[in-house]
Amino acid sequence: MKIIKRNGTEVPFDIEKILNAIRKANNEVSEGARLTEEQITGIAQKVTALAGDLNRAVNVEEIQDFVENQIMDQKAFSVARKYITYRYTRSLVRQSNTTDAQILTLIECNNEEVKQENSNKNPTVNSVQRDYMAGEVSKDLTRRILLPPDIVEAHDEGILHFHDADYFAQHMHNCDLVNLEDMLQNGTVISGTFIEKPHSFSTACNIATQIIAQVASNQYGGQSISLTHLAPFVDISRKKIRAEVAAELAGVGVFDEEQIAKIAEKRLRDEVKKGIQTIQYQVVTLLTTNGQAPFVTVFMYLGEARSERERGDLAMIIEETLLQRIQGVKNESGVWVTPAFPKLIYVLEEDNIREGSKFWDLTVLAAKCTAKRMVPDYISEKKMLEYKKDKNGEGHCYTCMGCRSFLTPYVDAEGKPKYYGRFNQGVVTINLVDVALSSKGNVLDFWTIFDERLDLCYRALLERHNRLKGTLSDAAPILWQYGALARLKKGETIDKLLYGGYSTISLGFAGLYECVKYMTGKSHTDEEAKPFALAVMQHMNDKCKEWKEKHKIDFSLYGTPLESTTYKFAKALQKRFGIIPGVTDKNYITNSYHVHVSEPIDAFTKLKFESEFQQLSPGGAISYVEVPNMQDNIPAVLAVMQYIYDNIMYAELNTKSDYCQVCGYDGEIAIVEEDNKLLWECPHCKNRDQNKMNVARRTCGYIGSQFWNQGRTQEIRDRVLHL
């Protein structure tokens, strides 16, 4: 059994430390009030058993809570007081310096919790350590100065989660839908250098990657770009290349138009290939200031093209993007593996969803890519046009920002729809499981407590909003002055972009399944329990509407993609409420509205069921189905894609893509348990060195590739197949 110390390091459990701590408190009371040695040993053994029952690494605070409770159970109140006083005194000492020990363990790579906090960040790299060190300072300032104590306390107890406190001290926001079209067509400025409109497709791709890196370094969430904004540059290159070929052939006396066209088209395709290769390889190899590859989503939507010529060129770009992703990227051993980014989204529409439709071959290629590399994910144009209607009643299809954060429909002062150039201000997530358990199953108390917790979230969200108010455009010129989000003047604040629906701010939610399970005794997939689940969702939407009308800020309900927080919430629930079968007996809670990962359900039933809940998560959500290796069954992948088109707005297929660098095994890397800890192991050679394996798993709408904490690892292990 392992213990996680306060500085984040992980050490073997040592019962002697418990015995010594109790003895120390015991020796400070009068002889008549003391515990016997037998009682002390019994307490230590009971604490050991309680810690073992959690089936995970236990932190020091939990051990000390167990000790306190066991001393009290022995009626040794004087000893308990001494033990509690000692804990309090040590806590005061620690509060005088809250960051040193944490930062030192980060530098020495001894902090187990931070090591597994983000599955796409390598904590041994200097740039990641630098980001984490800055984050510790930001979190300390946030806790002590910037946030009200009750919100900090609620965050610590797992009642809510105040996301990204490690960036809150700065005036930074969450996700972006980058206006790449404006920046490429009208020019932009990067690091003080004016970048004019590119004169070729390959140059446009190169500039796009620079924009992606700059944007990622000035916010902390995901961003999205559309390939449609690159499509006009294909024809610019076509004309340029054609002129060059014509001149070359004329020089040798050849004036054959057919020959000119053939050579020009070949060179054009070579340029498209190189351009897309630039995007893929630069995104994978770039490290932004937060120490990871840019979290970028690439949107592929034929319906955005403004002419048939542009649509054909866009199809060519999409095809090349899919072909290169199918190939993958080489790891350090030279083996083709699955990269985490860029994330790809392919829009299913009438011109590509049925066999015989104009772009059906492109959809088949997308299916092959999904089967091998887990992307693209799929947006149904049909369902999105139904769900995302503006105030004029017109539906719109557009990409999320990063993995799932969706803007709400918006029209500008001229009545035109606008999505590119908008952003999300931030997220605060409510723990629905905690609401249910705090009510003790009483329905009336549930709704009362629910409103109290939502009010906490509301005030926390206003803290996020107010932190951004007054931010000068000079803080991030690439975003606010040079077109990624706006073209504001130097010295101008971003305040006007925070109101009126231009940007959103997200009320996140997690654990709907466990909440409903506790309150009704049934899964929310049960017809008797489903109405309660939908009522919970509707209530949160009603609150967002109420807050929006009051402040003219676009509050929106968001299905939170918990990564490390799923473990934090689970531990907090176990600490406060103990182990409750089917509710707190796992080291994770279920993301957003999802069906529990271990619940048997087929792919089509799951997607149909979750579509109702996705519609009630307008600020962002994604559904998935877990599938086996589908590379030899592409018709089945296409069948799921066609079902997505007709039934749900946004969904993905979760496959596996692993490789063992020791023995060359390219099947699924297994999860095994040893000493209450889950470990990744090659089933062929038993390699457990995470530095010598490539594991890619979908965890939160995006692919993770640097491994996960124990809670998320358990969730991955518990997943059942839906197909």
Q: Which residues lie across from 5 on neighbouring strands?
A: none
User: Residue 546 and residue 275: Cα distance in Å, rounded?
Assistant: 47
Reference 426, options 540, 544, 507, 484; nearest CA is 507
Write the DSSP string, 111-122. BHHHHTT-TT--
Q: Is the peptide bond before 342 cis (omega within 30 degrees of 0)?
A: yes
Give dist(CA 719, CA 588) in Å, integer: 12
How many CB atoms are located within 10 Å of the residue 477 CB?
21
Q: How far apart are CA 300 and CA 365, in angstroms?
A: 13
Query: For residue 75, what are its two tokens?
Result: 């009626």
For residues 586 and 599, what is the distance between their CA atoms, to the nearest angstrom?
14
Contact indicator for 447, 519 with CB cutoff of 8 Å: no
* DSSP, residue by residue, 37-99: HHHHHHHHHHHHHHHHHT-S-EEHHHHHHHHHHHHHHTT-HHHHHHHHHHHHHHHHHHHTSSS
Angle between helix 530-551 and helix 443-468 axes, rounded to 10 deg? 40
Nearest-angstrom CA–CA distance, 544 and 457 = 11
Alpha carbons within 13 A on the beta-carbon side of 565? 27
CA distance 93 to 77: 24
Identity of the amino acid at 547: W
CA 21 to chain CA centroid, Å, is 41
Q: Which amino acid is at 435?
A: V
Q: How far apart are CA 604 and CA 500, in angstroms?
A: 38
Three-state SS at 652: strand
What span, in angstroms and rounded, lies between the C-alpha atoms of 18 and 46?
11
Distance CA 184, CA 227 (A): 12
Q: In whole angstroms, what is the distance from residue 47 CA to residue 611 CA?
A: 45
As a dihedral over the C-alpha atoms of residue 271, residue 277, residue 280, residue 286, rounded to 10 degrees, the angle is: -100
Could you tell me where the beta strands, DSSP code E, fall in 400-471?
422-431
Between helices 530-551 and 603-615, what is the axis angle to 10°?
A: 30
User: How many angstroms separate the CA atoms of 337 and 340, rounded?
Assistant: 10
Question: Which is nearest to 48 in space by CA: 562, 40, 544?
Answer: 40
E strands, 393-498, where? 422-431
Residue 461's SS3 state is helix
CA distance 602 to 542: 32
**Helices 232-251 and 308-327, interaxial angle, to 10°?**
90
Instruction: For residue 518, give every residue at least 6 positions away whose Cβ sits within 8 Å of its Cβ, in sequence order, or none.
Output: 433, 436, 437, 441, 580, 583
Burial code of 550-588, b = ≥16 C-beta within 10 A, e = fewer? ebebbbbbbbbbbbbbbbbbbbbbbbebeeeeebbebbb
Q: Which residues are catalytic?
A: 174-175, 401, 403, 405, 424, 558, 563, 701
Closest CA to 3 of 53, 50, 62: 62
- What is the residue whose two structure tokens read 């199809």? 315
How far, rounded to the nearest angstrom, does the alpha carbon of residue 157 sit from its chain's CA centroid?
Answer: 22
CB 537 within 8 A of CB 516: no
Spatial distance between the Cα atoms of 682 and 661, rounded to a whole number of angstroms: 10
Evaluated on CA atoms 4, 10, 15, 16, the torsion sign reads negative
